Chain A
Amino acid sequence: MFIVKRLGQMVLTMVIASFLVFAVMEFSPGNVASKTLGPYASPEQKQILFEKLQLDDPLIVRYGRWIGVLFGVIEDPLADPALNLGFHDPRGHHYFGNFGYSTLYKAPVNDILWDRLGNTGILAGIAFIIIVPLSMVFGVLSGMREGSAMDRGLSLTGITLTSIPEFASAVFLMAVFVVVLAWLPGTSPLEATPEWPLASQLVLPVTVLVLYDFGYVARMVRASMVEVMTKDYIRTAVLKGLPYRTVILRHALRNAMITPFTVILLQINWLITGVVVTEVIFAYPGFGRMLLEAALFGDITTVEAATLVALFVAVITRLIGDIGYMYLNPRIRLT
Chain B
Amino acid sequence: MVDQATTESSPDAAASPGRLGRGAGLWRVLRAIGLLRESPVAIIGSGLVLFWVVVAILAPWLSPYGPNAIDFTALADPTPSAVHWLGTDHLGRDMVSRLAWGARTVLTVAPIAVLTAYLIGCTMGMVAGYLGGWVDDLISFISDIILSFPVLILYIILISVLGPSALNIIVAVTFVSSPGIGRIARALVFDLRTREYVDAAKTRGEHPLYIMLVEILPNARGPLIVDACLRMGYTTITIGVLGFLGLGLPPPDPDWGGMVKDTTAMMVVWPHMSLFPCIAISSLVIGFNLLADGLREISMRD
Contacts and interface: CB of A to CB of B under 8 A. Distances in A.
A27 B107 CA distance: 33
Nearest to A270: B150
A166 B261 CA distance: 12
Nearest to A164: B282
Interface string A255-284: 000000000000001100110110011000
B188 interface: no
A266 to B, nearest CB: 10
B268 A186 contact: yes
B297 to A, nearest CB: 10
Contact of B286 (A20, A163, A291): A163
B145 A16 contact: yes
SS class, residues of chain B in contact with chain A: helix
A84 to B, nearest CB: 27
Contact of A13 (B145, B150, B152, B293): B145
A163 B245 CA distance: 18
A151 B201 CA distance: 44
B157 interface: yes
Contact of B275 (A13, A171, A288, A318): A171
Interface residues of B, number: 40
Interface string B229-240: 000010001001
A228 interface: no
Contacts of A315: 148
A114 to B, nearest CB: 18
Question: Which bucket holds chain A's interface residue count?
Answer: 35 or more
Interface in B167-194: none
A288 B282 contact: no
A11 to B, nearest CB: 12
Interface in B40-63: 41
Contacts of A172: 275, 278
Contacts of A20: 145
B144 to A, nearest CB: 7
B160 A295 contact: yes
A178 B240 contact: no
A273 B264 contact: no
B97 interface: no
Interface in A167-223: 167-168, 171-172, 174-175, 178-179, 186
Contact of B278 (A167, A273, A292, A303): A167
A164 B285 CA distance: 7
Chain A, interface SS category: helix
Contacts of A273: 150, 152-153
B148 A314 contact: yes
B286 A178 contact: no
Contacts of A276: 152-153, 156, 245
B281 interface: yes
Which of A17, A159, A171 lies at the interface centre, i.e. has the most chain B CB atoms within 10 A of its CB? A171
Contacts of B241: 165-167, 277
B95 interface: no
A156 interface: yes
A171 B274 contact: yes
A17 B149 contact: yes
A293 B245 CA distance: 10
Contacts of A17: 145, 148-149
B208 interface: no
A13 B144 contact: yes
Contact of A165 (B41, B151, B282): B282
Interface in B245-302: 245-247, 257, 260, 264, 267-268, 271, 274-275, 278-279, 281-282, 285-286, 288-290, 293
25 contacts: A24-B161, A25-B157, A27-B161, A155-B293, A163-B237, A163-B285, A164-B282, A165-B237, A165-B240, A165-B244, A165-B257, A166-B241, A171-B274, A171-B278, A175-B271, A178-B268, A273-B152, A274-B150, A274-B151, A276-B156, A291-B156, A295-B157, A298-B160, A311-B148, A315-B148
Given A168-B279, A315-B148, 11 more contacts: A25-B157, A156-B41, A163-B282, A164-B286, A165-B237, A168-B260, A168-B281, A179-B267, A277-B245, A295-B156, A303-B160
Interface of B: 41, 144-145, 148-153, 156-158, 160-161, 233, 237, 240-241, 244-247, 257, 260, 264, 267-268, 271, 274-275, 278-279, 281-282, 285-286, 288-290, 293
The 7 closest A-B pairs by CB, nearest first: A168-B278, A273-B150, A295-B160, A163-B285, A163-B286, A164-B282, A171-B278
